[in-house]
Structure 1
């Protein structure tokens, strides 16, 4: 696959998993360096999602959340936890994931991720109430 085709596939996967509103918000900066940075991030991070292989988007989502929680990257953890309706990860799977994080990465990582998940779920409930 040509580089531009790979980037287009990565862009499409990013939009499918995170939604148009989020992607539009982070790619709207007109500065050339910002656009180049977004293409780089999209190519590297989302290119691996779009490459196919044995892992489903659901599996990749679980892995990304485990890794971001383990690394203490709570902004990214929140982003991906909020995308679970699009990735196919269930609430029960995400709850179980946090036990794994706490056991293998330490209680502080698990506790931080649990707090972040609580915030994500509260925001989702609020959005549902406002949309009703």
Structure 2
């Protein structure tokens, strides 16, 4: 992007803080002329506007996002945001509580699948942390 807007710049800071440098670098690297406008849109609106607001902490924003994504069946995004809890401060217990709400308000099948996705993501986080400890 040749002349990024202030909202884009803020969005990229927040996106990197939440998702991590490695994830965002990969997303930027994989941007094509076809996806460039979409990447700009999500960086400015989702990350530069909504996620950058200071009305609620990242922990709660993370919990809300995971619950909404699970309720809507966007499980790839659930996994990504569960991995991001390392950066948002949302704990395993926080996510469990959010997914219990999903079960009641959006349905047991949605929560059941989201619990499986979250458990797998947490296992990946633990494995990565063990590798970091041995490195």
Stretch of structure 1 that moved more, 65-74 or 118-127: 118-127
Stretch of structure 1 that moved more, 22-31 or 116-125: 22-31
Q: CA deviation at 1:111?
A: 0.2
Matched with 2:130 is 129
Matched with 1:99 is 100
Q: CA deviation at 1:121?
A: 1.2
Stretch of structure 1 that moved more, 6-15 or 24-33: 24-33
Q: CA deviation at 1:85?
A: 1.6
Q: Is the 8 A contact 2:64 2:98 kept in 1?
A: no
Q: For residues 83 and 30 of structure 1, what CA distance do their matches in structure 2 show?
A: 21
Q: For residues 30 and 74 of structure 1, what CA distance do their matches in structure 2 show?
A: 22
TM-score (norm 2): 0.89
Q: For residues 117 and 64 of structure 1, what CA distance do their matches in structure 2 show?
A: 13
Q: Is the 8 A contact 1:61 1:89 kept in 2?
A: yes
Matched with 1:33 is 34
Q: CA deviation at 1:5?
A: 0.8
Matched with 1:51 is 53
Q: Residues 61-115 of structure 1: CA distance to partner in whole angstroms, max 9, x if unpaired?
A: 1111010000000010100011112101011111111111101110001101100
Query: What is the number of equivalent residue pairs in this alignment?
Result: 129
Q: For residues 21 and 8 of structure 1, what CA distance do their matches in structure 2 show?
A: 17
Matched with 1:16 is 17
Q: CA deviation at 1:122?
A: 1.2
Q: For residues 15 and 99 of structure 1, what CA distance do their matches in structure 2 show?
A: 28
Q: Is the 8 A contact 1:58 1:87 kept in 2?
A: yes
**Runs of 4+ more than 4 Å apart:** none
Structure 2 residue runs of 5 or longer lacking an equivalent are none
Cα gap change, 1:23 to 1:30, in 2 (>3 Å) = closer
Q: For residues 14 and 110 of structure 1, what CA distance do their matches in structure 2 show?
A: 26
